[in-house]
Amino acid sequence: MMSPRCIVGRPLHVAGIALLLGSAIAAGLPGIADARKELLTIEEKDLLQQAEQIHLETLALSSHGPLDASNITKAVAARFERLGYRIVIDSGQPHAITVKVKCEELKTWEGTGRSGGDADMVDAAARLWKGPACQLTYRFGTRWADWRHEVRAPFSNPQEAARQAGQTDSAAYSIAALIQQLQTDSFPYLLTADWGQSARLIAALSESSATAAQQQAVIGLLGQMLAVDAIPRLTAFLKDSDPAVVQSAATALGTIGHEDGIPALLALFNTGTPEQHRAAAAGLGRLAPLHPNSGIVPAFIAALPNEPLQTQIILVRALGKTTDRRVLPPLRALHRSVLKHTRSDSSPEAKELLASLGIALDGFDGVHTEE
């Protein structure tokens, strides 16, 4: 007969496996969008990574017909040129990639993407949005890419928005609003990441005009690209005055997963402000299972008892993903303490910590179920 201990331990063991798989995927295993990239030939990947000349095709449409798209072309060209690309207007001139931008006063739905669905792409076309929007796609060689991006105006009713602004031409007002969005939207960074050109993104982080939001977007993309060449620049951002930027840099270093990111994150973990300390913990938490011989586990074990609940959750989850049995005594001690003080009316963080401890310990041998 199966013991009660085994019966209790099995669901937790399954949960632990599920958590480990989910964390591994989050930490850098190829996603659906990356899987689509595997369909590209080596020549096509090289073409995208080396692309420098971009041909622009722009179109502006009102509810009554075409409009002048020259201002759209200027806005999009300026964004690409800041990343070092050269813009080609004449399709007869040499170019590697054609980027098409179609801006409409009232968006017309064109159906789902050719593969992968819409949900797996950042800012893909929203089926329910019918207001002003720009659709961005690109072609390389003779084929259209599956990449698709939508830039939307801050209003859905052009006529009402124009009326409130004292304008009579709702189409011109909508296109002008979309041009403003194109001047700050992340589409150039998204395309550069899709083409695998990490060097341009690293250079973009040094732009004096880059906002904190744009820096965070670029940093996140470099992490998703597993851009090892970005580690020195990301490490510098750990000292940024904006906590959100520091958080993004720490997360990106953890996602990249390379050991070169560990020393700076450990230094921040040991000497940073409480916000920096927590950001470093999140980044190191992703690196701990990948580099068992680093100093991450000893640092986490030493800090664990005195951390606030939110940081304890981060540390426990990271330690539970390692195979280092040195983590068992501190995890068991913390589990006993939390179990003793956690009740039905305890805070959500306390309950989450207790659950995380259970999953972490069960990943080793499930002995916490005896308590």
pLDDT higher than 70, residue 5: no
How many CB atoms neighbour CB 28 within 10 A?
18
> For residues 339 and 9, what is the distance between their CA atoms, to the nearest angstrom?
17
* pLDDT attached to residue 69: 97
On whether the CB atoms of residues 133 and 167 are closer than 8 A, the answer is no
The reply to whether 51-191 and 197-281 are identical in fold is: no
* pLDDT attached to residue 11: 45
* pLDDT attached to residue 303: 96
pLDDT higher than 60, residue 308: yes
* pLDDT attached to residue 225: 96
On whether the CB atoms of residues 103 and 60 are closer than 8 A, the answer is yes
* pLDDT attached to residue 126: 65
User: For 207-229, what is the mean pLDDT?
Assistant: 93
Give the global pTM: 0.80
Domain residues of the chain, as ranges? 9-27+290-371, 51-191, 197-281
Q: Side chain identity at 215, as an amino acid letter?
A: Q
* pLDDT-based confidence at residue 128 (cuts at 50, 70, 90): confident
CATH of domain 51-191: 3.30.160
> For residues 158 and 61, what is the distance between their CA atoms, to the nearest angstrom?
13
CA-nearest of 101, 60, 95, 93 to 77 is 101
- How many residues in the chain? 371
* pLDDT attached to residue 155: 96
Which residues, including other chains, have CB under 8 Å from residue 249's CB and lie 6 or more apart? 219, 234, 235, 237, 238, 240, 279, 283
* pLDDT-based confidence at residue 352 (cuts at 50, 70, 90): very high
CA-nearest of 175, 205, 200, 214 to 54 is 200
Q: Which two tokens stand for residue 371?
A: 């308590």
User: For 141-166, what is the mean pLDDT?
Assistant: 93
> For residues 368 and 371, what is the distance between their CA atoms, to the nearest angstrom?
6
Which residues, including other chains, have CB under 8 Å from residue 114's CB and lie 6 or more apart? 144, 146
User: For 159-183, what is the mean pLDDT?
Assistant: 97
* pLDDT-based confidence at residue 19 (cuts at 50, 70, 90): very low
- Of 103-107, 133-137, 142-146, 220-224, minimum mean pLDDT range: 142-146
| pLDDT tens digits along 25-38 | 444 444 434 444 55
On whether the CB atoms of residues 99 and 79 are closer than 8 A, the answer is no
| pLDDT tens digits along 246-284 | 999 999 999 999 999 999 999 999 999 999 999 999 999
pLDDT higher than 80, residue 220: yes
On whether the CB atoms of residues 50 and 66 are closer than 8 A, the answer is no
Q: Which two tokens stand for residue 264?
A: 């700076």
- Of 190-194, 207-211, 236-240, minimum mean pLDDT range: 207-211
Under DSSP, the state recorded for 229 is: G
Q: Give the bridge partners for 99, in sequence order.
A: 56, 138
* pLDDT attached to residue 57: 96
> For residues 215 and 205, what is the distance between their CA atoms, to the nearest angstrom?
6
| Average pLDDT, rounded, for the chain | 86
CATH of domain 197-281: 1.25.10.10
